[in-house]
């Protein structure tokens, strides 16, 4: 296969990608038709098992097509794997593969992408280079290599035409969501997503993010890679290699509760160290593929493409809202809901009531871990409430809140999903102290 031919595995035009989206819809429709027929012809069958089989088949068909599309579409699959209670469990089980099992580019295309990005083929740049990818995700895939100075590195190679796919996918998504939701902020939300995805395709920007996190957060319990700038371009990123197990492999080893508690604590504190920092910078892609559980007890943090830098006033208002909720100060809560545009003047009375009711319930759940010195994330009752709350939120058909909430929510859902899998009991005193100190500094 020639270099020009090999790129056809990555449909970039709106038309080509639209055909795949349409094919997916037809497959799902056919599955549903078979399901209805089976219910009629097999009336004594197990209805729950029939519905589960439908969900599984739909999830497999959707996943198969999204992996062809990669890019924005595959990021949607990663989002589907989060434990939010909105999608059936069968979807989450299948879509979790999007963290680890994406079909990679062939080796000829990888060589071409490295030559185009760095000026030479990999065998001329690296002392050794593994042609088979060790990981493949939504925007690029990772290869292991060795530099001439002996350092082990990970080389991330971007799929071709990714920037074009972002524009075409978001155009389709904007049309779809425009039919499903109302409100004044939809265009701002899509612009926020588009801007962040474009930044994720700039590997030189990611290298700068790696430098920042290596400087700020590479402490005793956390290890991050270091960027190798001389072997990095917009489409090829080289960084030092971080050893460790992904969540799936870690849990398969049946770690004891003490080990689960240890890594859960590191995850919880890592996120809160960022929230409390005056840098207003957040690793905003909290999914299992981006964390490594190491034998030495440290938490490896990788993939710094999705890093959100918040305006200072937004970060400060979020802290004020948290503080108002902790102290059950309803007047302050109402003030912050308006200031953060969660409640706004264009809402009618009915919508305002639904949104207010949802955020009252949601807010009380989110601050529950901070109301005691320890919190058990293995509590099934807590997750049942959280799932029900997420499901209620998904049924709101009104956009509300600053567009900066998109990535706050991404971190929040991702963190609680990670905790749901680890099921640790953690000490929340450090995080409470950090947040209270940050609130006091605002006075």
At 223, list the tokens: 């290890």
Instruction: Name residue, tokens 């094919």.
Output: 23
Q: Cα 280 from chain centroid?
A: 19
Q: What residues does 299 pair with on adjacent strands?
A: 222, 293
| Contact partners, residue 10, CB within 8 Å, separation at least 6 | 70, 159, 160, 161, 162, 165
Distance between CA atoms of residues 202 and 163, nearest Å: 10
pLDDT score recorded for residue 398: 65
Look at residue 34 in the predicted model and tell me its pLDDT: 74
Helix axes 349-366, 312-326, angle to 10 degrees: 80
Quick one: which of 120, 102, 121 has its CA closest to 111?
121
Asked if 406 and 192 touch (Cβ cutoff 8 Å), the reply is yes
Task: Report which of 67, 56, 61, 64 is spatially closest to residue 91, judged by C-alpha positions.
Answer: 56
In the block, tokens 């389709």 appear at 172
DSSP, collapsed to helix, strand or coil, labels residue 20 as helix
The whole-angstrom separation of Cα 57 and Cα 27 is 9
Token pair, residue 15, equals: 């038309």
Q: Residue 41: its pLDDT value, please?
A: 75
Rounded Cα gap, residues 68 and 102, in angstroms: 9
Classify the C-alpha dihedral 161-162-167-173 as positive or negative. positive
Are 159 and 112 within 8 A, CB to CB?
no
Question: What does the pLDDT profile of the chain (443 residues) look like in tens digits?
Answer: 333 334 446 665 666 666 766 676 667 677 767 767 677 677 666 777 777 777 777 767 776 766 666 666 666 655 555 555 555 666 666 666 655 566 788 899 999 999 999 999 999 999 999 999 998 877 889 999 999 999 999 999 998 888 877 777 777 666 655 555 566 677 787 888 889 889 999 999 999 999 999 999 877 899 999 999 999 999 999 999 999 999 999 999 999 999 999 999 999 999 999 999 999 999 998 888 899 999 999 999 999 999 999 999 999 999 999 999 999 999 999 999 999 988 888 788 888 888 898 899 999 999 999 999 999 999 999 999 988 887 787 667 666 678 888 889 889 988 998 999 999 999 999 999 999 999 999 97
Give the distance, in angstroms, between the CA of residue 69 and the centroid of all CA atoms in the same chain.
17
Query: What is the reported pLDDT for 344?
Result: 82
Contacts of 164 (CB under 8 A, 6+ apart): 12, 13
Angle between helices 162-180 and 186-200 (to 10 degrees): 160
Contact 117, 101 (CB under 8 A): no
Q: At what angle do helices 162-180 and 14-41 cross, to 10 degrees?
A: 50
Could you tell me the pTM of the whole model? Answer: 0.82
């Amino acid at each position: 296969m020639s270099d020009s031919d090999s790129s056809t595995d990555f449909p970039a035009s709106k038309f080509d990608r639209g055909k795949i989206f349409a094919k997916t819809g037809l497959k799902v429709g056919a599955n549903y038709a078979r399901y209805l027929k089976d219910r009629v012809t097999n009336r004594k069958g197990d209805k729950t098992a029939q519905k589960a089989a439908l969900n599984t088949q739909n999830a497999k068909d959707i996943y198969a097509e999204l992996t062809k599309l990669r890019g924005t579409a595959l990021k949607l699959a990663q989002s589907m794997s989060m434990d939010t209670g909105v999608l059936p469990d069968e979807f989450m089980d299948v879509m979790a593969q999007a963290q680890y099992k994406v079909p990679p580019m062939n080796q000829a295309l990888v060589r071409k992408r490295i030559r185009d990005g760095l000026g030479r083929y990999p065998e001329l740049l690296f002392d050794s280079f593994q042609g088979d990818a060790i990981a493949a995700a939504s925007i690029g895939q990772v290869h292991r290599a060795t530099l001439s100075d002996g350092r082990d590195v990970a080389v991330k190679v971007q799929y071709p035409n990714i920037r074009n796919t972002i524009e075409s996918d978001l155009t389709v998504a904007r049309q779809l969501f425009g039919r499903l939701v109302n409100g004044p902020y939809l265009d701002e939300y899509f612009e926020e997503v588009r801007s962040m995805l474009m930044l994720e395709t700039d590997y030189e920007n990611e290298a700068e993010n790696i430098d920042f996190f290596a400087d700020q957060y590479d402490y005793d319990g956390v290890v991050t890679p270091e960027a190798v700038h001389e072997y990095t371009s917009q489409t090829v990123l080289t960084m030092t290699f971080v050893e460790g197990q992904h969540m799936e492999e870690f849990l398969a080893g049946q770690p004891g509760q003490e080990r689960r508690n240890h890594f859960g604590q590191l995850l919880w504190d890592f996120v809160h160290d960022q929230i409390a920092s005056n840098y207003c910078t957040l690793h905003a892609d909290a999914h299992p593929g981006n964390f490594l559980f190491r034998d030495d007890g440290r938490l490896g943090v990788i993939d710094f493409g999705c890093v959100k830098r918040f305006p200072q006033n937004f970060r400060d208002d979020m802290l004020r809202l948290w503080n108002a909720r902790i102290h059950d100060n309803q007047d302050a809560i109402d003030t912050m809901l308006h200031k953060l545009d969660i409640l706004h003047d264009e809402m009618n009375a009915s919508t305002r009531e639904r949104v207010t009711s949802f955020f009252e319930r949601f807010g009380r759940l989110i601050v529950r871990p901070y109301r005691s010195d320890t919190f058990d994330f293995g509590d099934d009752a807590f997750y049942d409430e959280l799932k029900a709350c997420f499901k209620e939120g998904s049924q709101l058909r009104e956009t509300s809140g600053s567009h900066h909430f998109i990535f706050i929510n991404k971190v929040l859902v991702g963190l609680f999903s990670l905790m749901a899998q680890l099921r640790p009991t953690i000490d929340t005193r450090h995080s409470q102290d950090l947040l209270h100190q940050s609130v006091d500094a605002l006075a």
